[in-house]
Chains A and B, each alone.
Chain A
Amino acid sequence: MTRCPSDLELERLARQPDGASAPHLGACARCAARLAELRRLSEVFEREVFLATVEAVVAGAAPRPVPRAAWVAVAMAAAVLVALGVGWLRAGRGDGALDLVARAGPAAAALADGQRIPAGAALRLEIRPRRACTLWVAAADAAGEVTRVFPPKAMTGTLGLPVAAGTTVPVDAPARPEGRRGPERYFAVCLCGDDALEWKDVDRAARAIGPGEAPLRAARGIPGLPDETLQASLLVERVER
């Protein structure tokens, strides 16, 4: 070996030295320093990290059987929520792992899917993924126009916003320009995993729904997005008041 090994190679060589690397490691001052640092950090880990975290690691990795009573409680809670019509809506692929609720004001009641609201009303959306993912919120109207609602371009550029599991993200959705009337659907899409979902991909897929009131009302999700995308949507009917 004539070149300096990468960090990953050095990790392996520190654990299992081999004959091919020995001459280089013995002669290279830089690699000698890196090996010394590697060993120093092993000692730091043992002294300061291991003891402080090992119990949490043991607990975090323990198998977690779900008690039967918990399943019953979850089922009852779900039934109550449906009965109360709180307006949480889950749609699209996945396992109902993305929640979307909309209000016509910070303290207003949650809107039901298809609810009529004043044409000039701004909305407060609350989106909560059950898994870590990268979030986009888009709005589409019957003219086939698709609007980027969140995150703003100034915040993340062409990419969505990474959201931790269980985090509720509040999003202010402004009223449509000129108080236009008609159906409008808000789509929350959240891609799990490490791949990127850029705005142009969301925009292109949402435009495939096409113009027209009927397709928009029927479109519970944006077609053509990756399988790992969680989705939820909510339709509002903007009317003149």
Chain B
Amino acid sequence: MDERQGGDHRTRVVRLYREYGPVVYRRCLRLLGDEEQARDATQEVFVKLLREERLTGEDAEVLPWIYRVATRHCLNLRRAVRHGRWSLDGGRELEVADPEGAPYPERRLAQQILARFDTTTQAVAVGVLVDGMRREELAGALGLSRRTVHRKLARFLAGARRLLLGKEPAP
């Protein structure tokens, strides 16, 4: 890469990072609950976003995509932390919102059992129970069908109930 190309690259990255970096940072902070971890995750997520060259579209397309990439990255990070590969000193539990339509017992279960499910199911559960998203909106943001969102959420809640009764989630 010559000097001019390097300058163009830098200018473009700085502009995009300044514009969309806050969106990524807020999402990472929301899921990780720790400012230092969120800062590192923001940097990592943004490099991923830049490599896919999709940050130049309309907000209606770009924001859900940022949400999807950042959510999956942070959920994977949380999962890795739980398995002891990194420390997350000071990290807080997910702060469950008060979404309309999510009964209280389901919200309470979410924090306790999230770790037992795959990342996609976690993303669905977090989207509905933590972010208060409608199923249609979440399906669009995660790139899933509404049917898949419904099925994964139902599986998550059924598994949560089984875990609460001291049983393993159904296969």
Q: Which residues of A contact B85 (CB under 8 A)?
A: 164, 167
The range of chain B's interface size is 35 or more
Option from B1, B120, B169 in Cβ contact (under 8 Å) with A62: B1
Contact yes or no, B13 A57, CB < 8 A: yes
Chain B's closest residue to A160 (CB) is: B118
- Residues of A within 8 Å of B, CB-based: how many? 45
Docked CA distance A164–B80 (Å): 9
Option from B72, B117, B133 in Cβ contact (under 8 Å) with A8: B133
Secondary structure at chain B's binding surface: helix, strand, loop or mixed?
helix
Q: Which residues of A contact B169 (CB under 8 A)?
A: 158
Within 8 A of B (CB), among A149-173: 155-159, 161-162, 164, 167
Docked CA distance A50–B64 (Å): 22
Write the B51-77 contact mask toward A (1 if CB under 8 angstroms, else 0): 100000001100110010000100010
Within 8 A of A (CB), among B4-26: 6, 9-10, 13-14, 17-18, 21-23, 25-26
Q: Which residues of B contact A63 (CB under 8 A)?
A: 1, 9
* Interchain nearest-CB distance for A166 vs B (Å): 13
Confirm or deny: B100 has a beta carbon within 8 angstroms of a beta carbon on chain A: yes
Docked CA distance A38–B26 (Å): 7
Contact yes or no, A58 B10, CB < 8 A: yes
* Interchain nearest-CB distance for A7 vs B (Å): 5
Within 8 A of A (CB), among B138-163: 141
Confirm or deny: B131 has a beta carbon within 8 angstroms of a beta carbon on chain A: yes
Contact yes or no, B119 A196, CB < 8 A: yes
Q: Which residues of A contact B47 (CB under 8 A)?
A: 57, 60-61
Q: Which residues of A contact B120 (CB under 8 A)?
A: 194-196
Contact yes or no, B42 A53, CB < 8 A: yes
User: Which of A11-19, A79-87, A121-129, A207-215 is found at the contact surface with chain B?
Assistant: A11-19
Q: Which residues of A contact B67 (CB under 8 A)?
A: 8, 11
* Interchain nearest-CB distance for A39 vs B (Å): 9
Q: A49-B42, A57-B50, A156-B83 are in contact. Are A8 and B18 (CB under 8 A)?
A: no
Q: Which residues of B contact A57 (CB under 8 A)?
A: 13, 17, 43, 46-47, 50
Within 8 A of A (CB), among B94-143: 100, 116-121, 123, 131-134, 137, 141
Confirm or deny: A147 has a beta carbon within 8 angstroms of a beta carbon on chain B: no
Using A61-B46, A132-B76 as known contacts, list a sample of 18 further A-B pairs with CB atoms less than 8 Å apart, ordered by residue number in A: A6-B131, A12-B60, A12-B63, A41-B22, A41-B26, A44-B35, A45-B22, A48-B35, A49-B25, A49-B39, A57-B47, A60-B50, A63-B9, A161-B83, A162-B76, A162-B79, A162-B80, A196-B117
